[in-house]
Structure formats: structure tokens, C-alpha cells
Amino acid sequence: MKYEMLIHVKPGYFESMAEDERKAISAEYMALAEDPAARGGAQLQGTETVTTVRVRDGQTLTTDGPYADTKEVLAGFYVFEAENLDQAIELAARIPAARLDGAIEVRPVVER
């Protein structure tokens, strides 16, 4: 089964780390992206670059900023192949943001 993992973090969590730590954490993220179970993913640019788009009554409405006004921001995502939810949870727990005051939302992907 494929599971998406949305990575929610407190803004600035990465930038506030020392350079050594940042290098180590980046390496972890890259290792996960290269894990045999990985099926995709991306790091997202900062929330200052977000634009939200809606279409209402045929009109395209564009607003500055993320859809949900929350403290935490979406930093990126992975898609992993796993046999069951327990395996997916173990993968999610390896994502650095999970232990650095962030949260990973895990959801099965609809298979077509």
C-alpha cells in the first residue's frame, strides 16, 4: 500500500539549527528519499511563497498565503510503499521533523 506523509513543522525549525546539525538532518531527509520504499516526495519552498487558488462561480480567486492559517506549516511530503500501517508509522517516525517538534500526517493513497 502506498502512504503519503505530509510533513508539518514549526516555521524556522530547520534554520534555527547549527550548520552541523542542519547538514546531518538534510542527509537524513535525502536518505529517506532514496529508501527503496520511497515512491516520490518533495521539499516545499517556504510559506512566503505560497499562493492559494479557489474557483467560485467560474471566477478564479487568488490569495496570498497557505490555505489553513496554522502555526505549523507544510514543509514537504513523501510517498512510501509499506505493507501495512505499522510499517508506514515506523517510516514516518524516521522523518526528522517528527522528533523536532513537528508532526507527520500519514494517509493511504487511493490506488488506481
Which is nearer to other proteins, 3 or 29 (by Cβ)?
3
Residues of this chain that bind other proteins (CB under 8 A): 1, 82-86, 88-89, 107-108, 111-112
Which is nearer to other proteins, 2 or 8 (by Cβ)?
2
Residues in contact with 30: Cβ distance below 8 Å, sequence separation at least 6, in sequence order:
none
Minimum separation from the CB atom of position 38 to other proteins (A): 18
Whose grid coordinates read 535525502? Answer: 30
Minimum separation from the CB atom of position 49 to other proteins (A): 32
User: How far apart, in whole angstroms, are the C-alpha atoms of residue 66 and residue 32?
Assistant: 26
User: How far apart, in whole angstroms, are the C-alpha atoms of residue 66 and residue 64?
Assistant: 7
Minimum separation from the CB atom of position 36 to other proteins (A): 18
Whose grid coordinates read 527503496? Answer: 36
